[in-house]
Amino acid sequence: MLTDDFHVFDTTLRDGAQREGISYSVGDKLAVARLLDTLGVGFIEGGWPGAVPKDTEFFARAADGELKLEHATLVAFGSTRKAGVGVAVDAQVRALLDSRASVVTLVAKSDVWHVERALRTSLEENLAMVSDTVSFLVGEGRRVFLDCEHFFDGYAHDRDYGVRVLEAAQEAGADVGVLCDTNGGMLPMGIAEIVAEVRSRVGIRLGIHTQDDTGCAVANTLAAVSAGVTHVQGTANGYGERAGNANIFSVIGGLVFKMGLDVLPAGTIGESQRVAHAIAEIANLAPDTHAPYVGSSAFAHKAGLHASAIKMGPELYNHMSPELVGNSQKILITEMAGRASVELKSAELGVDVTGRPEVVSSVVERVKEREAGGWSYEAADASFELLVRDELAGGSFSAPFELESYRAIVDRREDGTVVTEATVKVHADGRRVISTAEGNGPVNALDRALRQALGDVYPRLAEFELTDFKVRILPGKHGTDAVTRVLIETADAAGDWTTVGVHPNIIEASWLALADAVRFGLLPPSA
Amino acid sequence: MLTDDFHVFDTTLRDGAQREGISYSVGDKLAVARLLDTLGVGFIEGGWPGAVPKDTEFFARAADGELKLEHATLVAFGSTRKAGVGVAVDAQVRALLDSRASVVTLVAKSDVWHVERALRTSLEENLAMVSDTVSFLVGEGRRVFLDCEHFFDGYAHDRDYGVRVLEAAQEAGADVGVLCDTNGGMLPMGIAEIVAEVRSRVGIRLGIHTQDDTGCAVANTLAAVSAGVTHVQGTANGYGERAGNANIFSVIGGLVFKMGLDVLPAGTIGESQRVAHAIAEIANLAPDTHAPYVGSSAFAHKAGLHASAIKMGPELYNHMSPELVGNSQKILITEMAGRASVELKSAELGVDVTGRPEVVSSVVERVKEREAGGWSYEAADASFELLVRDELAGGSFSAPFELESYRAIVDRREDGTVVTEATVKVHADGRRVISTAEGNGPVNALDRALRQALGDVYPRLAEFELTDFKVRILPGKHGTDAVTRVLIETADAAGDWTTVGVHPNIIEASWLALADAVRFGLLPPSA
C-alpha cells in the first residue's frame, strides 16, 4: 500500500463519462473500477449518487460487496449544499452520506462570474455553502476533497476569491483543494505560475484537474506537480467532455518515468496497456492506436533503413522501454524491409525464424515482390504472419479450406432497392460445399456465404466479426492498371487482427483479405 | 504576406507521412499542400526528393506549375552528405538541388551516441558533414534550416556537442537550428530549461520539433516558444510516427489564442477545421472528433442542467469562441451547416446565392440531414456544388441522364480468373439505352457501361478519368447498420473534381458518387 503523500485520483466513471457517446451500465462501472484498481490508482471517483440513478445503484452495489478494491478508495462526487438551504436537509448532500463512500469530492464555484451569473447567489453565501457542506460531511466522518470549478478562469477575474474558497474549505476540514481548469483553456506556463502563487497564499494541500481543450491537459497536470501539487486527477484514455480530460496513463507515465515519482504501488504500472485497452472495450470505443505509452503504435517504427540500428540499440530510438507499460516495440514492414526487420517482426509475432536464414531470405523476397505489386504489410500483421508461416512450412502450410469459385451480384432495381447476393464453392474437411447468402454489399454477402459454407466444420467462425474495412486505389505503375488494396480488421473475444488483399478487382482484393482473416483466425493457439 | 519573424513550419507531408497506414499519392500530396497553404502556414516540407521516388515526382510537378502557393514556401528535406563523401558528388544532396525547392531542411546528428553508434563516424566528421552540406546548398542559393536530430537526448549525453553542431551550421550559413525531440520523451519544464540554456550559448535562430510520446508535444512546442524559439514544426492532426508529432492546429491555436502571437496571415485561422478534416479525408483516416479546437466535439456540451446557462453565457463554458477556428458549439453540426459557411463556400465555387436566403436555408437543412446519415462534403466540393445548384433551381436542375436500373456481377472462376460485367439501363436525350461493359472491378464496369450508354449524347465523357477512389466504413448510429462512404476523384484536361456517395452497399455508394462525377463533369462551363 502506498502512503498518502501523492494522490492519483481517477475520474473516468464521473467526469470521463461526460464524453459524447459513453454510456456505462452499472456492471460496466464495476468492471472499470476493478481495472483501475489493478493499475493501482489511489482514488476512484465513481459517480454522483443522488443525482444520477445509475450512480446511486453503483455505490450501493459496491458497498454491498460487489467491489473489492486492493489499492484504491472509492470516492463519491457531489455538489455543495444549495443556496439558502440547510445542509442537513439538502437531499443531494444526504445522498452522499447514503452512498457509504468514505471519501467525498465536493464541487464548488470559485469564479466570481460563475457565482453571480450561473449560480446566481452572493459571494458570501457561496463561501458559506462550501464551509457548511465540508463541516457537515467531515462531522459525519467523511474525508473531503474540494473541486474548485473554473478556478483558473476565476483567478483572472478576481485572484482573491478562489483563495477565500480554499481557505473556507480548509477551515471546515477539507483535505485537498483541487484547482480545476474546467474550460480547459490553460497552458503549462500559466498553470505553473498560478499554482505557485496560490501555494504561497494557502495552507491546504492542492490538487489539479485539467481538460484538454488546448491539447495540454497532460502537460498542465505535470506542470502543476512541478509547482507543488500532490493530487492529480485524470481519466482513462483521456475520455471526457469536449476534447477530453487529462489521460491518466500519460499522466502516470510522465510522473513515474519522466519525473521519477513513485506514484503507483510496486509492479502495477506494467498493467497500463491492458487496462487502457480493456476500458476502451467497455466504453465501446476503439483504443487510440497512437496514444502515448499504451497505444499499439506508440513504439512502432516505420524506418526500414534503420531497423538494423534499432535492433542493435533500441534505446537510441525509443524514449523508454515499452515493456515497462506492458507495451512492445513494433516494426512496420514496409517497402524498405530488410532481413533485420523481418527477423524482429517475426519475433514480435511469436514466430521463431532463428537459424532459418533461407526462410528469412524468401520472406524478404516475397515481401519486396508483393509490395512492388501494391501489397502493404505495415498494417496487416496477420497476413504477414501467414506469409512467414507459409515459408517456414516450405509452402505446405495447411489452409483450412480451398476456394473453387465465387460469384457476387449487385442488382439496383427500378424502384431504387439494391439487392446483393454471393455464392461460394469451397472444399473443406474433404467435402465440397456450395453456399449462397445475401448481404448489404458484395463483401458482406461473400463473408456470410463463406462462413455459412464453413460453419459446420469450424464453429469458431461464428465468433469472428468483421470490424473494419478500408479500401485504397493505388495508381498503376509502368503502364499497368491501377490496383485496389483492401485492409480488413476482424475481431473475436480474444483480440483482433488485420489482413490485406490486393488485386485490380476490389471484390477479389476483398476476398483475399477475407480468406486470410479466416485462415488467421482459425490458426491453432500454439501455431 | 507575413514577415519572416515567426515560422509556422508544417511537415505533414514528410515526417507526418511516417504514421502507420498513411500512404499519399503524388496527387494527394499536392492537395494537402494546397490545403496547408489555405491555412496560411509559412513553410510546407514536401518530402525527401532523391530518397523517396514519389517525393521526387512531387517536387517536379510542383515546380512545373501544379502547385501555386499563396502564403507558403515549399521546402525539401534531406540529409547532410554521407561520411567520407564529397558534398558536390553526394547523389542525395544533388537531388535536393534538383528538386528546385528554394528552402532545404537538412537533418543532422547532434547526439554523440547517435554519431558514434548509429552513424558510426567521428564527431569531427559529423561536424564537417553539417558544415560542408550547409555551405554547398547556401552557395547554390538555397535557404537552409538544420534539424538537429535527437537534440534533447544528446544534451543529456554531452551538452556541448549539440551546441557545436548549431555553431557549425550557423557559420556555414544556415538560418535556423531546429532542436528536435526525436524520441519524444521530453516534458515542457525540461524543454524550456534546455532551450533557454542553448539560446544563451548560440547566436543562430532556434526552432522546435517535438513528438508526442509523453502526450506533451503541443505543450513542449509552446514552452519552447516562451523560452525564445521562433520557428515551430508540426503536422496536420498530429500525424506522425509512434504517438505522432505536435498537432499543428493545436500549436497554432495556442500561439494565436493563448499566447497572442499573430503567426498566420489575417483571416486564415478560420480555415482550421475545414483544413484539418479535409487532410484527414485525403489521408483516409477518420477525423479525431475530440481534437482540441478542430474536433467536431471540441465545443460540444452534453445537454443537461447547464444547457440554458451555456446558451445565455457561452463564454462561461467555452475557453474561446469556436467560430474563430471555423468550429461551432452545437453537437453534430459541422462547419458546412451554418448559413455563413454555405454562402462563403458557394461564392468560392462560383455559385451566386446572394439574395436567396431560402436557398441557403434549404441547403443548410439538406446538408445537416445528409451529414447525420454519414455524408461528408468537406472533401467533396463537386457534390456540394450540385446540391446548391439543385436547390437554386428549385429541384428542377436538369440532370444529363436518368437511371432506370443497373446490375453488376463479379465471377471468380475455378482457374482463378476474375470476370466482372455491369449492365446499366438509362434514359438520356429522350432515349432509353441499355449498355453492358466489362471492367477490372464492379465500379470500373459500371463506369464503363455508363459512359458507353451516354457516349453518343455526351462525347466529352470520353475525356473523364476516374483518378481516385476512397472507401470508408462508418459505424452505424442508433442501432442502424454501418454505412459506406465513397469519395471519387475524376479528372479531365481542365482539372479534377471530387464527389461523394453514401449507402450501406458499397456498389450503390460508388454509383451515387459516379453519377455525381458525371453530372458535375458535364455542367456547362457557365453553369
A443 touches chain B (CB under 8 A): yes
B295 touches chain A (CB under 8 A): yes
The count of C-alpha atoms lying within 13 angstroms of the C-alpha of A219, restricted to the half-sphere facing its C-beta, is 32
Does a structural domain hold residue A353?
Answer: yes
Distance (Å, rounded) from C-alpha B377 to C-alpha B390? 15
Are residue B350 and residue B245 in the same domain, yes or no?
Answer: no
Q: For A468, which of B187, B216, B473 is closest by C-beta distance?
A: B473
Are A187 and B468 within 8 A, CB to CB?
no
Residue A397 per-residue DSSP state = P
Are residue A223 and residue A131 in the same domain, yes or no?
Answer: yes
Does a structural domain hold residue B106?
Answer: yes
Distance (Å, rounded) from C-alpha A174 to C-alpha A130? 10
Distance (Å, rounded) from C-alpha B58 to C-alpha B71? 19
Q: How far is A257 from chain B (nearest CA, A)?
A: 9
> Does position B76 have pLDDT exceeding 90, yes or no?
yes
Q: How far is B96 from chain A (nearest CA, A)?
A: 20
B305 touches chain A (CB under 8 A): no
User: Which candidate, A140, A152, A175, A196, places its Cα nearest to that of A7?
Assistant: A175
Residue B73 per-residue DSSP state = E
User: Which candidate, A175, A236, A228, places its Cα nearest to that of A38?
Assistant: A236
Are residue A227 and residue A103 in the same domain, yes or no?
Answer: yes
Assign residue B425 the CATH number of its domain.
Answer: 3.30.160.270
Distance (Å, rounded) from C-alpha A37 to C-alpha A51? 25
What CA dihedral angle connects B187, B188, B193 and B194, to 10 degrees? Answer: 60
A78 touches chain B (CB under 8 A): no
The boundaries of the domain holding residue A514 are 402-521
A505 contacts in B (CB within 8 Å)? 410, 418, 420, 440-442
> Does position B478 have pLDDT exceeding 50, yes or no?
no
Distance (Å, rounded) from C-alpha A24 to C-alpha A475? 45
Last residue in a domain, options B214, B248, B282:
B282
Report the residue of chain B nearest A481, measured CA to CA: B440
With residue B43 as reference, give the H or E element that holds it.
Answer: strand B43-47
Q: What is the CA radius of gyration of chain B?
A: 26
Are residue B331 and residue B433 in the same domain, yes or no?
Answer: no
Last residue in a domain, options B365, B392, B419:
B392
Does a structural domain hold residue B277?
Answer: yes
A508 contacts in B (CB within 8 Å)? 410, 412, 418, 441
Are A410 and B242 within 8 A, CB to CB?
no
Are B341 and B451 in contact, with CB atoms under 8 Å apart? no
Interface of B with A in 189-218 (CB under 8 A): 189, 192, 212-216, 218
Q: For A297, which of B183, B242, B331 is closest by C-beta distance?
A: B242
Examine the predicted complex and report whether its ipTM is higher than 0.90.
Answer: no
Residues 6+ apart with CB under 8 A from B246: B209, B210, B211, B212, B217, B218, B220, B221, B232, B233, B234, B235, B238
Does a structural domain hold residue A22?
Answer: yes
Are residue B431 and residue B464 in the same domain, yes or no?
Answer: yes
Beta strands in B152-238 (DSSP E): 176-181, 205-210, 231-234
User: CA end-to-end span of chain A, whole Å?
Assistant: 41
Are residue B40 and residue B139 in the same domain, yes or no?
Answer: yes
Does a structural domain hold residue B288?
Answer: no
C-alpha cell, A33: 473500477
Residues 6+ apart with CB under 8 A from A305: A336, A338
Interface of A with B in 108-127 (CB under 8 A): 113-114, 117-118
Chains A, B: CB pairs < 8 Å = 286
For A197, A312, B336, the CA distances from A25, given in Å and listed in that order, are: 42, 48, 35
Q: Which pLDDT score, from 0 to 100, does residue B521 have?
A: 93
Q: For B188, which of A113, A219, A318 is closest by C-beta distance?
A: A219
Are A204 and A166 in contact, with CB atoms under 8 Å apart? yes
Are B249 and B217 in contact, with CB atoms under 8 Å apart? no
Assign residue B149 the CATH number of its domain.
Answer: 3.20.20.70
Q: Which pLDDT score, from 0 to 100, does residue A311 have?
A: 67
Q: What is the distance of C-alpha A148 from the center of its chain? A: 27
A434 touches chain B (CB under 8 A): no
With residue A36 as reference, give the H or E element that holds it.
Answer: helix A26-39
Q: How far is A224 from chain B (nearest CA, A)?
A: 11
User: Which candidate, B235, B334, B321, places its Cα nearest to that of B17?
Assistant: B235
Residue B264 per-residue DSSP state = S
Q: What is the mean pLDDT of chain B?
A: 90
Q: For B316, which of A114, A226, A504 is closest by C-beta distance?
A: A114
Are residue A72 and residue A112 in the same domain, yes or no?
Answer: yes
The crossing angle, in degrees rounded to 10, of helices B506-521 and B442-454 is: 30
pLDDT band at B305 (very low <50, low <70, confident <90, very high): very low
User: Which candidate, A333, A339, A335, places its Cα nearest to that of A362?
Assistant: A339
Interface of B with A in 9-68 (CB under 8 A): 18-21, 23, 25
A295 contacts in B (CB within 8 Å)? 243
User: Which candidate, B198, B256, B195, places its Cα nearest to that of B223?
Assistant: B195
Distance (Å, rounded) from C-alpha A70 to C-alpha A1? 9
Report the residue of chain A nearest B473, measured CA to CA: A469
Does a structural domain hold residue B219?
Answer: yes
Are A487 and A470 in contact, with CB atoms under 8 Å apart? yes
Are B189 and A223 within 8 A, CB to CB?
yes
A347 touches chain B (CB under 8 A): no
Are A427 and B425 in contact, with CB atoms under 8 Å apart? no
Residue A123's CB is within 10 A of a number of other CB atoms, namely 14
What are phi and psi for residue A186, nearest 5 degrees? -90, 160
> Does position B526 have pLDDT exceeding 60, yes or no?
no
Are residue B276 and residue B358 in the same domain, yes or no?
Answer: no
Are A315 and A299 in contact, with CB atoms under 8 Å apart? no
- What digits encode the pLDDT tens for the residues B81-92? 999 999 999 999
A6 touches chain B (CB under 8 A): no
C-alpha cell, A188: 503549462
Question: What ranges in A356-402 are assigned the alpha helix state H?
Answer: 357-372, 381-392
B410 touches chain A (CB under 8 A): yes
Does a structural domain hold residue A306?
Answer: yes
Are B19 and A309 within 8 A, CB to CB?
no
Amino acid at site A137: L
Distance (Å, rounded) from C-alpha B257 to C-alpha B324? 9
A478 contacts in B (CB within 8 Å)? none
Amino acid at site A254: G
User: Which candidate, A178, A172, A86, places its Cα nearest to that of A125?
Assistant: A86
Does a structural domain hold residue B379?
Answer: yes
Distance (Å, rounded) from C-alpha A53 to C-alpha A55? 5
Q: Which pLDDT score, from 0 to 100, does residue A306 have?
A: 60
Q: Which pLDDT score, from 0 to 100, does residue A71 have?
A: 96
> Does position B352 have pLDDT exceeding 90, yes or no?
no
Are B187 and A222 within 8 A, CB to CB?
yes
Q: What is the CA radius of gyration of chain A?
A: 28
User: Which candidate, A297, A284, A279, places its Cα nearest to that of A237?
Assistant: A279
Are B298 and A243 within 8 A, CB to CB?
yes
Residue B32's CB is within 10 A of a number of other CB atoms, namely 24
Report the residue of chain A nearest B472, measured CA to CA: A470
Are residue A149 and residue A254 in the same domain, yes or no?
Answer: yes
Distance (Å, rounded) from C-alpha A447 to C-alpha A461? 11
Highest-scoring range by mean pLDDT, A311-315, B16-20, B270-274: B270-274
- Helix, strand, or coil here: A436? strand
Are B424 and B452 in contact, with CB atoms under 8 Å apart? no
Q: Which pLDDT score, from 0 to 100, does residue B310 have?
A: 58
Last residue in a domain, options B351, B368, B392:
B392
B216 contacts in A (CB within 8 Å)? 216, 218-219, 222, 254
A446-452 long-range contacts (CB < 8 A, ≥24 apart) are A446/A406, A446/A408, A446/A422, A446/A507, A446/A510, A446/A511, A446/A514, A447/A514, A448/A422, A449/A406, A449/A422, A449/A423, A449/A424, A450/A424, A450/A426, A450/A514, A450/A515, A450/A518, A451/A518
User: Which candidate, A175, A166, A236, A207, places its Cα nearest to that of A15?
Assistant: A236
Give all strands of the β-sheet with A418-428 in edge-to-edge order: A431-439, A418-428, A402-412, B402-412, B418-428, B431-439
List the pLDDT tens digit at each of the 527 positions of chain A.
468 999 999 999 999 998 876 778 788 899 999 999 999 999 999 999 998 888 999 999 999 999 999 999 999 999 999 999 999 999 999 999 999 999 999 999 999 999 998 888 999 999 999 999 999 999 999 999 999 999 999 999 999 999 999 999 999 999 999 999 999 999 999 999 999 999 999 999 999 999 999 999 999 999 999 999 999 999 999 999 999 999 999 999 999 999 999 999 999 999 999 899 889 877 867 789 899 999 988 998 765 446 666 766 778 888 999 989 988 877 666 544 567 778 877 887 888 888 888 888 888 888 877 877 778 786 788 998 999 988 888 766 678 899 999 999 999 999 999 999 999 999 998 999 999 999 989 999 999 999 999 999 999 999 998 887 877 777 654 344 678 888 888 988 888 898 999 998 999 999 999 999 999 999 876 54
Name A411's bridge partners: A419, B407
Distance (Å, rounded) from C-alpha A78 to C-alpha A98? 12
C-alpha cell, B80: 547532410
What CA dihedral angle connects A179, A183, A185 and A189, to 10 degrees? Answer: 0
Residues 6+ apart with CB under 8 A from B147: B77, B105, B106, B107, B108, B178, B180, B209
Domain count, chain B: 3
Distance (Å, rounded) from C-alpha A520 to C-alpha A397? 12
Are residue A310 and residue A241 in the same domain, yes or no?
Answer: no
Q: Which pLDDT score, from 0 to 100, does residue B94 have?
A: 97
Are residue A382 and residue A418 in the same domain, yes or no?
Answer: no
Residue that wins the pLDDT comparison between A495 and B458: B458
Amino acid at site A2: L
Q: How many residues does chain B have?
A: 527
B260 CB-contact burial (10 Å; exposed 0-12 / middle 13-18 / buried 19+): exposed
User: Which candidate, A161, A141, A330, A144, places its Cα nearest to that of A231?
Assistant: A144
- What digits encode the pLDDT tens for the residues B485-500? 898 989 888 788 999 9
Distance (Å, rounded) from C-alpha B401 to C-alpha A299? 53
C-alpha cell, B374: 454519414
Are residue A100 and residue A121 in the same domain, yes or no?
Answer: yes
Residue A489 per-residue DSSP state = E
C-alpha cell, A94: 444526504
> Does position B366 have pLDDT exceeding 60, yes or no?
yes
A298 CB-contact burial (10 Å; exposed 0-12 / middle 13-18 / buried 19+): buried
